[in-house]
Structure 1
């Protein structure tokens, strides 16, 4: 897929995934997939976390991945041969076209999708942490604990937190510390008790549609 220009290969022996691909900020139009803090397709709530993880894994791989690759990323144990076909079927029921290509045994997204977690990474890479933070509604792929989900969750949080800290924007840092539980944001020099910063942060939280601190 065009929105991820390259993806590094992963050794099947290690549950480690590299999301350093050159993500394009000008993502093509397509179905909007939300996996940051909730599961939605084009604004519609989705209850199947595994289906959303399946779609996200395909998107993160550039829209095409082998059956074995998906199995390795999503499961650490043997599963039924019908598991991935069932997830593909459920994705299609959500309006996300998923094809299975027998030669090569690959699952393919024939149409572009925009996954908020990948968009956030793209914005961070483009030097736009504030815009990335606007997309952050909670941990990536909540309730999912596969190697892929855990790796992507940490990647989004680590990259976003580091970009915000590097920006030196104290208001943005304060807001981020309230949205993301991250050890780098727990330092006294980061959290601070400046009442002026608190006022600014409350204002910024309102712009995100979130209640100010102490009112949740």
Structure 2
């Protein structure tokens, strides 16, 4: 059975043959559930290549405890990672088409997604913003576009998957857990996303906004932005 590196190579080979990728570069980020690398297209465009790694932590723990990893665990990793890549690519296409500030999705093969380059710093690691209120407005406006125009909810939004780009604009990444707005738990998940963002801005920048007002704005029930204090 193919292991992680084998699936990586098969996906990269297919993307090269499809004229999506030509050169592979340095890591842009390594996390619990994905690795992201810098790369170039045949036309010289810089792109990000994201390898989904769902279950990596669990099978590392299994290997440490048992000394081996069964074929079933590897198969589960691949199925889950491929599904995550497929879901994220779908979400990015919907969001990008609706004008949401996300990386442009370019291609997918197996558990790998190719998208426009991701440059900037996670909001969690930003020490200061030129205008925190403007950044919060931009985030809420993009959540609104995703909900109203694309019909989707991020469902795992936090300061760790909002990127502050060099020009201080935002980019929202990491969409594999998205849900459609007709999901039974849609309102609960949307409210959780917004609450997480508001709590961060209150803690980091002493900026306060009412959750109910922000939720009404994001859902398109009000055109007025929440008041910040």
Same-fold status (TM-score > 0.5): no
Q: For the superposition of Structure 1 and Structure 2, which TM-score range results when normalised by the shorter chain?
A: 0.3 to 0.5
Which has more strand, going by share of residues?
A: 2
RCO comparison, higher one (Cα < 8 Å, 6+): 1
